Amino acid sequence: MYQHYSVLKQEAINNLNIKPDGIYVDCTLGGGGHSSEILKRLTTGHLYCFDQDDYAFQRSKEVLDPISHNYTFIKANFKDIKKELEKLGVTQIDGVLYDLGVSSFQLDIPERGFSYNYDAPLDMRMNQQGELTAYDIVNNYSFNEIMKILYDYGEESNAKLIARGIEKARAIKPIETTFDLVNVIKSSLPQKVLHKKGHPAKQTFQALRIAVNDELRVFEVSINDALDMLKPNGYAVVITFHSLEDRICKKVFRDRTTLDIPEGLPVIITEEAPFELITRKPILPSEEELGENNRSHSAKMRAIRKR
pLDDT, tens only, 212-229: 999 999 999 999 999 999
- Domain range for 209 is 113-213
Confidence class of residue 266 from pLDDT cuts 50, 70 and 90? low
With H, G, I as helix, E, B as strand and everything else as coil, classify residue 234. strand
Distance of CA 164 to the CA centre of its chain: 29
Model pLDDT, residue 233: 98
CATH code, domain carrying 37: 3.40.50.150
Question: Domain total for the chain?
Answer: 2
The helices-and-strands tally (H runs, E runs) of the chain is 14, 7
- Are 117 and 198 found together in one domain? yes
**Does 108 fall in a domain?**
no
pLDDT in tens, 191-219: 999 999 899 999 999 999 999 999 999 99
Strands 71-75 and 46-51: parallel
87 and 228 assigned to the same domain: yes
Give the residue among 97, 95, 71 at the shortest CA–CA distance from 17: 95
Task: For residue range 270-296, list pLDDT tens digits in order.
Answer: 578 999 999 999 999 999 999 988 878
Q: pLDDT (tens digit, 9 = 90+) per residue, 107-161?
A: 888 899 999 999 999 999 999 899 999 999 999 999 999 999 999 999 999 999 9
Using pLDDT thresholds of 50, 70 and 90, give the confidence band for residue 101.
confident
Which sign does the torsion angle of CA 64, 65, 67, 69 carry? positive
Domain limit, last residue, from 213, 243, 271: 213
Find the mean pLDDT for residues 17-40: 97
Give the per-residue pLDDT at 6: 86
Position 89 in a domain:
yes
Q: Is the predicted pLDDT of residue 1 greater than 50, yes or no?
A: no
Q: Is the pLDDT of residue 28 over 90?
A: yes
> Alpha-carbon distance 90 to 84, whole Å?
9
- At residue 181, the pLDDT reads 98
Share of the chain above pLDDT 90, in %: 85
Q: Which helix (H) or strand (E) holds 24?
A: strand 23-26
pLDDT given at position 197: 86
Task: Check which CATH number belongs to the domain holding 205 and give it.
Answer: 1.10.150.170
DSSP 224-280: HHHHHHEEEEEEEEEEESSHHHHHHHHHHHHHHTS----TT---------SEEES-S
CA Rg, the chain, in Å?
A: 21
Q: Does 50 share its domain with 198?
A: no
pLDDT, mean over the chain: 94
Q: Are 72 and 147 found together in one domain?
A: no
Highest mean pLDDT among 54-58, 176-180, 256-260: 176-180
